[in-house]
Chain A
Amino acid sequence: MGVLGIKLFTILRNLGEDKYLKYLMLVPAVSILAFVTIYPFIYSIYLSLYKVTIQNYFNPPFYGLGNYIEELTSLHFWNSIKVTLTYTALSVLIEFIAGLILAIIFYEKIGELDSWWKKILVTVLLAPMMLAPAIVGVIYRMMLNELIGIIPAYLKSIGIYIPLLTDPTLALLTLVLIDAWQWSPFMFLVIFSGLHSLPSEPVQAAMVDGASKLQIYKYIVLPLLSPIIAVAIIFRALDAVKAFDTIFLITAGGPGTATETISMYIYHRVFTQGDFGAGAAITIITLLLLTLICKFLLKFLYKVS
């Protein structure tokens, strides 16, 4: 008994030492992450092998790869992949261009953030990305409502009577533009900061050589910035794939399934139709697809920079 006590005491006292400490410090973070991510992930795999619906929720039959086969042969599933990729590609593209233009203009015309009005200007421009995407969804749903919304009112006053959320293509485009409204400031911020952190020699040298502003930007600045831009694009693309809040609140996947992204599709499958097993299978398939795309993207961007 006494021996155990002494052993425990020595261990506790030694815990302060490096070789135990470094692992101990990780324990809280890792355990929460494991509980909330690894364990659910494994559970997902388990769920996906069973036909779990509401009616047999407490006693689901084994289904093997049935869920996977059903999903991979389902047009709805592939539609959601298509919608997600289109949404992501268009949003990121628009955000990159808008952010680039704003950052360059800001850098050239405003320069350093030394005065109070410049700081306010930046804060205002960054405001959209500070808001909860859900609230952004609520705001735009109000603005786009045919009966009371201000956007259709303005459009009608100049003779345009197309409801933006009823045509399948327009609806997706509208959602892309809303995403761009919210996240272009992010691109702007990254590029703007990047411009500040650039080394000045190459630019000076080019100016001495007589290059025009446009040439400097095109051949020197952008290539130097490309690693930062690449990371920003990946961050934004990963976030765009996850997009749910605004889509759920504005179109809920409609009209038809024109704006049903992967997240929306999973929501409908699991929470509306009650197919938990299928939902789990979809998440595993999505995970595999995303990992593949990510690896591919990283290799591609690595080559480019």
Chain B
Amino acid sequence: MRNGKKIGDIVSYLVLALAVVIALFPLLYLLSMSFKPRGLITTKPTLWLFKPSLEHYHKVIVEGFFLKYLFNSIIVATSSTIITLIVSLPAAFSIARFRVGGENISFWILSIKMLPPMVFLVPIYVIFQHLRLLDRLVGLIIVYVAFNSPLAVWLLRSFIEELPKEVEEQAMVDGCTRLSAFSRVVIPLLIPGILVTIALTFISSWNEFLMALILTLEKARTITVAASEYITGYGILWGDIAAAGVIAIIPNIILAVTLQRYLVRGLTLGIIKG
């Protein structure tokens, strides 16, 4: 009995260790490739210990336009997150407290999450062409707000429903209108929930590829698309792609580490409450 448990323990820890290695390996590989000198990349694929070189970062940042694309991504992700919040908070409040539309709205919102973005991209592409919104940051921001709002509304609604109604009612008894009760009382209590929503929305916008690929050309290009563009007429510049990739995932890592607690809560809340 004792031995069985010990073997079980060893196997379990082995599996966990394996999971960690599998999870980290590609990331470590990316990091290693970004510092690997060009000559070594083609001749020694399995070499892990070498003298690191900054040539790829130099190429990408100084010679390429990568900083411009990074800047684009930051603007688009930040703006769309802020606007999504502004748009979704009231909507979530309305659905949670007033039961407007109720289940219908929830289903509509879910159905948007359900469909392949391609379904909307073809007509959006055509419409944006007529409206001259292609290859403009504004165009991307609008699309991202629209596609992130469903999840944001869903999440915020769950958080609002968790709050006891008494607090608001107390505030209204004390003389606030519904609106000021909302802004003065509800919102401060919602901060954890808002943080979760911000984290998830930002990551979703930052990571987005398909819409950025199709709706932009060069001026509004974001870094996820730019990282994939290092496939040139001279062969694929693997080192440069790796450097671009590393730069592109820095915000993800930062967010994951600092907001880990909130992210875990946010991701599971959607499922468990749903």
Contacts and interface: CB of A to CB of B under 8 A. Distances in A.
Assess A/B contact in the complex (Cβ within 8 A): yes
Interface of A: 16-18, 21-26, 28-30, 32-33, 35-37, 39-41, 43-44, 47, 101-102, 105-106, 108-110, 119, 121-128, 130-140, 142-143, 145, 147-150, 152-154, 157, 181, 185-186, 189-190, 193-194, 197, 228, 231-232, 235, 238, 241-242, 244-245, 248-249, 262-263, 266-267, 270-271, 276, 279-280, 283, 286-287, 290-291, 294
Given A148-B41, A276-B126, A138 B271 contact: no
Contacts of A119: 260
Given A106-B16, A283-B119, A138 B272 contact: no
B19 A125 contact: yes
B228 A249 contact: yes
Given A102-B19, A136-B26, A32 B90 contact: no
Interface string B225-253: 10110000000101001100100110011
Nearest to B16: A105
Nearest to B257: A123
Contacts of A263: 116-118, 210
A105 B23 contact: no
A305 to B, nearest CB: 14
29 contacts: A22-B100, A25-B93, A26-B91, A28-B86, A28-B90, A32-B87, A32-B149, A33-B108, A33-B149, A39-B127, A40-B123, A47-B123, A124-B20, A126-B256, A126-B263, A126-B264, A127-B23, A127-B256, A132-B248, A133-B207, A134-B209, A139-B27, A143-B29, A153-B46, A181-B26, A193-B264, A197-B272, A267-B118, A280-B123
B103 to A, nearest CB: 13
Interface string B106-148: 0011011111111110111011000000000000001101110
Given A18-B98, A33-B146, A41 B123 contact: yes
A25 B90 CA distance: 5
Given A190-B268, A244-B210, A283 B98 contact: no
A231 B154 CA distance: 14
Contacts of A283: 116, 118-120, 122
Interface stretch (B7-15, B53-61, B62-70, B187-195): B7-15
A197 B273 CA distance: 12
A158 B119 CA distance: 44
A40 B127 contact: yes
A128 to B, nearest CB: 5
B19 to A, nearest CB: 6
Contacts, number: 260
Contacts of B263: 126, 130
Contacts of A145: 236, 238
Contacts of B41: 148
By secondary structure, the A interface counts as helix
Contacts of A106: 16
B214 interface: yes
A267 to B, nearest CB: 7
Interface in B26-68: 26-27, 29-30, 33, 41-42, 45-46
Given A102-B16, A122-B264, A283-B120, 14 more contacts: A16-B177, A22-B94, A25-B90, A25-B93, A26-B100, A29-B153, A30-B91, A32-B146, A36-B142, A124-B24, A134-B225, A186-B267, A283-B119, A286-B115
